[in-house]
Amino acid sequence: MKRISVLIPDAEVRLPVACCLAQSGQAVVHGLARQPALSTRGSKFFASFENPTAELPVEEWLQRIECIVTEHHIDVVLPISDFAIRTLSERREGLAWAAKLPLLPDPQTLDVATNKAKLAEFLKRRGLPHPPTAVMSGGMTADDVPAALEFPVLAKPPSSMGGIGIVRLDNRRALADFLAAQPRERRWVVQTQIEGNDLGINVLCRDGRILAATAQHAIKRSLQPFHWPAGIELGEDPAAMSLAEKLVRELGWSGVANIDMRFDARQKIPLLLELNGRYWFTLLGSLNAGVNFPLLACETCLGEIKANRIPQRTRYFVGRESVLLSLVGGGSLRIMPRETNLRYFDPLPTALASAESATAALRTAVSRLMPKTAARRLQA
């Protein structure tokens, strides 16, 4: 059987999409980085990889994609980052190779769904369950805090991922002091922190209809606050799935998405938090459950879905701590090596990423211990 030839045009992003495609045995994966990507170069999952010496301007990037499509007889051009998904969706009508793009969200829909402030307003208008939320600006006072907000609250930047920039505030005065210290033009999504557990629905959609989905529940928290979980369990969740179906239908969503929710322990219902309109960091968990979203996306582009869409109940753990635990008994969660990212180990990129982290840590240590002039000379 002829394998699908796939180009990831933004392969500087270290998401496990190439791994999913390579693991399927049904795809040959080529990578093009739009900006220098030392830690992705050398991945065993790519048949070829182009790494520029400087960031490619958009027009030059698009031209290079077209050349690679011809050179490698590419069947599917599969964007994986927010930038590439939006740019290729927006430019689709003018691209000679547009038929090789998978299902992608409309740019305006993407802008609404992936901006926490705009999504909160959308959810309120459509009557979809979500935590009490207010969109506030720097400089606001305690009198501006809506009475509906219960404390503690989380102040979130409208456009961020991985929990970056989220601040917990325990009372009205703390929130007012926080906003007073912010620039007036800066907006914050202020949301009641819900007592309960994190969960999510991962989907592939066409025009507001879910083609494939997996449900995941956090069972091991990250060491970093508000970060994606270090361990998840995948299985059925009819209530969360029903809510996800309503959301994607209201949005008219096409393409992949990761829908973050929180199970409200008081109301006993799932609440919508945010939507990531790209592949997610726990993507290999869905692969462990037997659902290969990148392969399914390629198949929808080619006109016939053949890959499995029925998830199995399973668990998935990420990070060095989970891997080490799996090798010495598994800890309290009895983690098995097959439940971790160890089975998808990619040696060279992992080594390069570790080297980058070590170099950055060394530079930080040097700058703290040595006089500024000497530190700059050493770093140069």
Query: What does the domain layout of the chain look like in residue ranges?
Result: 4-101, 132-192, 197-344, 348-379
Residue 194 in tokens? 């819900």
Alpha carbon distance 93, 80 (integer Å): 19
> Which residues is 260 bridged to in the sheet?
200, 274
Mean pLDDT, rounded, of the chain: 91
Identify the weakest region by mean pLDDT among 36-50, 82-96, 193-207, 291-305.
36-50
Rg (CA), the chain: 22
pLDDT of 357 above 60:
no
Find out whether 249 and 122 touch, Cβ atoms under 8 Å. Answer: no
pTM, full prediction = 0.89
Residue 75 in tokens? 């069947």
Can you give the pLDDT at residue 31? 96
The CATH homologous superfamily of the domain defined by 4-101:
NAD(P)-binding Rossmann-like Domain (3.40.50.720)
Residue recorded with tokens 């190779």: 97
Count of CB atoms situated within 10 Å of the CB of 16? 24
Alpha carbon distance 345, 353 (integer Å): 13
Can you give the pLDDT at residue 372? 54
**Residues 57-72: tens digit of each pLDDT:** 999 999 999 999 999 9
Can you give the pLDDT at residue 116? 94
Alpha carbon distance 322, 324 (integer Å): 5
**Residues 112-138: tens digit of each pLDDT:** 999 999 999 999 999 999 999 999 999
pLDDT of 75 above 80:
yes
- CATH code of domain 197-344: 3.30.470.20
Residue 45 in tokens? 């999952």
Question: Is domain 132-192 given the CATH code 1.20.120 in the classification?
Answer: no
Alpha carbon distance 282, 310 (integer Å): 18
- Mean pLDDT along residues 45-56: 94
What strands, in cross-sheet order, belong to the sheet with 4-8?
48-50, 27-32, 4-8, 76-77
Identify the weakest region by mean pLDDT among 10-14, 98-102, 207-211.
10-14
In a 13 Å sphere around the CA of 37, the CA atoms on its Cβ side amount to 22
Report percent pLDDT > 90 for the chain. 76
Tell me how far apart the terminal alpha carbons of the chain are, to the nearest angstrom.
53
Residue 47 sits at the vertex; the CA angle it makes with 204 and 98, to the nearest 5 degrees, is: 45
Alpha helices in 218-292 (DSSP H): 238-251, 283-288
Alpha carbon distance 25, 6 (integer Å): 12
**Which residue type does 90 have?**
E
> Which residues is 220 bridged to in the sheet?
231
pLDDT of 278 above 70:
yes
pLDDT of 351 above 60:
yes
Can you give the pLDDT at residue 294? 98
The pLDDT confidence band at residue 378, using thresholds 50, 70 and 90, is: very low
